[in-house]
Structure 1
Amino acid sequence: MRFIQILALSGVAAALAWGNPQCYLQGYGDLVAKADNTSLTLKDGTVFPYHTDKPTASWDDKINNADLSIQLSQPYDAGGFETPPPYLFDPGRLRYQPFFQALYGKNKAAVEKNLVMIQWPTLKGSVKLPVTKVAGVDKKLYAIGQEIAKLPKKERIWAEGATTYAYRVIKDTDRLSMHSFGIAIDLAPTKTQYWKDEAPSETAHIGYRNTMPLSIVRIFEKHGFIWGGRWYHYDTMHFEYRPELFAPACRMQE
């Protein structure tokens, strides 16, 4: 990955000023009416500031106080993975929670009104998984499952043990997990890797580990899902629907 290699040399600062508010309009065309460097407006009339005045000087500030601009501050470069992500490079992990609550549901009851069940193929048949129908996420995840089902068994086995919706906070934080909105899925939880198993501190220096096949990752990315294995704080079982990071305005240029 060309951008990852650049960042490995120049540091995360190279990603500063990345991002274009048009990524939201392009990524969520059915839900976002307009977006610029001042604000973002949903089609239901909800307006969010593009920048907030909360502190963002430190990494802990960024992860806890991300706004819409910070959410796009690190580009997601789908493709190969020749080198581990550089220090504190977590494209898509810096999230502005009110935006997702407005899209998918402001609380548990509101989210659950939008949940539908999809069939997820396994090596022994299929299971039903709850997923949001907002933005057609259910249809996209169903299509992903059908494509994974065509992979060789040695790769398909990494799509077993799938879990989706669970209204909860991220471990050791008060931030809602993306599973709370029905837009995330975890695969092979007993065989994949999670950074907190190595170090609990957000700013700790950690090694990178992954066993998730890139054949599965690329299928998810084709449908607008980012992978937690592209984060310095790796979560290799985790995929979440984030179309803004694949929008033309935020796509890496050759």
Structure 2
Amino acid sequence: MKLFTLSGVLALAATLGWSSPQCYLDGYPNLIASADESAIILKDGTRFPYHTQKPQTSWNEKIDNADLATQLEQPYDAGGIETPPPYLFSPGRLRYQPFFQALYGKDQKAIEKNLVRIDWPTIKGSVKLPVNKVGGVDKKLFLIGQEIAKLPKADRIWAEGATTYCYRVIKDTDRLSMHSYGIAIDLAPNTTQYWKDEAPSETARIGYRNTMPLSIVRIFEKHGFIWGGRWYHYDTMHFEYRPELFAPSCAGK
């Protein structure tokens, strides 16, 4: 990832056509019927406005009131990470919660009906992890585990301690964690890094730390999972299924 200022990244994104509603149609072809600048319509008929009227000027307003357009505002740049992400550049952290509830379950009971258990390889065997089956997320995560199992042990060790589904809010917020939908996984939680251990404020100036090997990261990204280590607000244990950010119409270059 090249080092840009935040304003430069967003200007470049607008110029190259990122933040297109087509990203949703490309990312979820089996779940979304149509997408344009007015609305996203799911195949079950559920309709969401692409833009809402809630204020989204400051970073805090955006992260608390993101709509579907804001959700794509920052392009996710899969690949290398030679330099830390720019200030407040955390592609994928701006989320429109009703969209994910419509896809994966409107509440805890509905989500848990969509959960299945997959085998996740470990150094000593395997564990069963609950994962959402909607859109084939379970199948993708199973394949990821099989690929990670072929890596050298020095890399594989970073896929230990895996946790997936947990219905909860994100620390210090009232927003649901992506783990609540069964589409996220944390690895090696005791030896990875989390930005709130350095500063609790969303707009604080923080450094960047990471020990997660990119060999694991690239496997996840190949299957449509973004990595929290590509965020200014780094969460290097965290991966979540976000195929819209890898769609050709939205992918970072």
Query: Which TM-score band (shorter chain)?
Result: over 0.9
Residues 1:144 and 2:141 are matched in the alignment? no
- What is the CA-CA distance between 1:251 and the residue it aligns to? 1.9
Do structure 1's residue 90 and structure 2's residue 87 form an aligned pair? no
- Does structure 1 retain, via aligned residues, the 8 Å contact 2:184–2:239? yes
C-alpha change, 1:78 and 1:226, in structure 2 (3 Å) is: same
Q: Within 2, Cα distance between the matches of 1:198 and 1:9? A: 21
Q: Percent identity?
A: 79
SS at match of 1:217: helix
Match of 1:14 in 2: 11
Structure 2 distance, partners of 1:252, 1:159, is 26
Task: Give yes or no for contact 1:132–1:183 (8 Å, CA) kept in 2.
Answer: yes
What TM-score, normalized by structure 1, do the two folds share? 0.96
Distance 1:27 1:93 in 2: 17
The Cα of 1:105 is off from its aligned counterpart by: 0.2
Distance 1:101 1:12 in 2: 29
> In 1, distance between residues paired with 2:245 and 2:13?
15
Q: Is the 8 A contact 1:11 1:87 kept in 2?
A: no
Distance (whole Å) between structure 2 residues aligned to residue 14 and residue 78 of structure 1: 19
CA contact (8 A) 1:8 1:85 kept: no
| 8 A contact 2:6–2:87 mirrored in 1 | no
Residues 229-248 of structure 1: matches in 2 within 5 Å?
Answer: 229-248=229-248
Which one-letter code corresponds to 1:227 in the other structure? W
Q: How does 1:102-141 map to 2 (within 5 A)?
A: 102-141=102-141
In the other structure, the counterpart of 2:202 is 202
Cα displacement (A) at 1:202: 0.2
Distance 1:129 1:183 in 2: 11
Deviation at 1:14, TM superposition (A): 2.9
> 1:135-174 residue pairs with structure 2 within 5 A?
135-174=135-174
Could you give the per-residue CA deviations for residues 156-210 of structure 1, whole angstroms, max 9, x where no partner exists?
A: 0000000000000000000000000000000000000000000000000000000
Count residues with an aligned counterpart.
250
Deviation at 1:252, TM superposition (A): 3.0
**Residues of 1 paired with 2:6 and 2:120: CA distance?**
41
SS at match of 2:73: coil
Distance, in Å, in 1 between the alignment partners of 2:12 and 2:226 is: 18
List per-residue Cα deviations over 1:82-116 (Å, max 9, x = no partner). Answer: 00000000101100000000000000000000000
Cα pair 2:75 2:251 within 8 Å, conserved:
yes
RMSD: 1.2
In structure 1, the gaps of 5 or more residues are none
Query: How far 1:143 moved relative to its partner?
Result: 0.2
What corresponds to 2:30 in structure 1?
30
Amino acid across the alignment from 2:165: Y
CA distance, structure 2, for counterparts of residue 87 and residue 215 of structure 1: 25
Matched letter for residue 225 of structure 1: F
Q: Cα distance, 1:9 vs. partner?
A: 8.1
8 Å contact kept, 1:199–1:206: yes
Counterpart Cα distance in 1 of 2:81 and 2:209 = 12
SS in 2 for 1:120: strand
